[in-house]
Amino acid sequence: MDSTLAALQTLILKALPTFFLLVLLHFYLKHVFFKPMEKALKARSEATEGMRQIAEETLQRAEKKTAEYEETIRQARNEIYREEETVRQSQRQRQLEAINAMRADAGAMVEEARSAIAADVAAARASLDRESEAIADEIAAAVLRRRSS
């Protein structure tokens, strides 16, 4: 067993410089390689987060402007619809006025025609009365001439 312990002791004595070199290499790499890499990764992460926040803020502003734009368009459309409705109503009113004026003119024309027809009927009746009296006189004269002959 002594020989095993002696072999183990010589092995440990030979491994000690390697162990110290590994510990020294660990701290050296940690200071020279990993700390700058950690700083670079942290700066990259901060820059990424900053850009992500900027992008989110920009997106929120864009959404807000889009909502404002859509509201402005909606208001403009409503104003156009109101103006169109006003124009339609004024056109309807003008059409109704024109129709009523035409109806009044047509009514006046009908009354004129009726009075003209009534005058023509009266004139025709008077003419027929005169002609019928003249024909009746001729018939009576012809009948009386036949009787007397």
Condensed to tens digits (0 to 9), the pLDDT of residues 60-70 reads 999 999 999 99
pTM > 0.75: yes or no: no
State how far Cα 16 lies from the chain centre: 83
Residue written as token pair 């926040």: 53
pLDDT range class, residue 149, cuts 50, 70, 90:
low
110: enclosing H helix or E strand:
helix 35-148
| Cα-based distances in Å from 87 to 74, 79, 83, 95, 108 | 20, 12, 6, 12, 31
Q: What pLDDT is attached to residue 138? A: 86
Cα–Cα distance between 102 and 107 in angstroms, integer? 8
Q: pLDDT class for 2, splitting at 50, 70, 90?
A: confident
What pLDDT does 6 receive?
86
